[in-house]
Amino acid sequence: MPDIDTESVLRTQRVRITEIFHSLQGESLPVGCPTVFIRLTGCPLRCAYCDTEYAFYGGQQMAIADILEQAGTFACPFVCVTGGEPLAQRNCLVLLTALCDLNYQVSLETSGALDVSPVDRRVSVVMDIKTPASGESDRNRWENLADLKPTDQLKFVVSDREDYDWAKAVVIERDLIGRLPVLFSPAWGRGIERELAEWILADRLAVRFQIQLHKVLWGETPGH
């Protein structure tokens, strides 16, 4: 059980939440695993392919203790904190540590534009590197690469051949292969799934190809 001081923090510290739901993990290494998703509200970026614009505004303030209680109702060991951009809210760090303290397997989906160094080291950080077609590649915080662990993951969302060539150059020039898992994902709705797979194979590029499983199953439906 948490001590009195910890309990007080969890009851008084709040985070703005868009939704909490139970679904299959649609991307990253534990794809297909039942997971509790905690979606925080707000994001300072406006990526061209964003599929969660409904999380930019609104939401409700929730005490971290109440978030933990709701997450616990699903009896699921995997928890993913996502957004929006979760790290745009300072108390996201408190939430992440509280989840780790409860022995969840915690992942954080983040844009890569904000500092990841304060994130609890027990969390698996799934960090984007924004490609040119996102419209936000100038927001990449390259210093974050030095703070990533072998248990973290890097994700490139690829919209076209230019994005692919750019991402491949980043992977090679920064010697990312072997440091941590690197994921290449086709931007949803662009119709380049097969092309991306073929580009990766042709270049013998040792990255992981992924398609957003939740989109295949449920399309654009929120809460999945």
Spell out, as residue ranges, where the chain has pLDDT lower than 70.
1-5, 222-224
pLDDT of residue 190: 86
Strand segments (E) across 142-211:
153-158, 182-186, 208-209
DSSP string, 113-144: SS--TTS-TTSEEEEE---GGGT-GGG--GGG
Could you tell me the strand order of the sheet in which 78-82 lies?
A: 60-63, 14-24, 34-40, 78-82, 105-110, 124-128, 153-158, 182-186, 208-209
- Give the model's pLDDT for residue 7: 78
pLDDT tens-digit series, residues 60-73: 999 999 999 999 99
> What residues does each domain of the chain span?
4-218
Return the CATH fold of 4-218: TIM Barrel (3.20.20)
pLDDT at 1: 38
pTM: 0.92
Q: Residue 156 in contact with residue 172, Cβ under 8 Å?
A: no
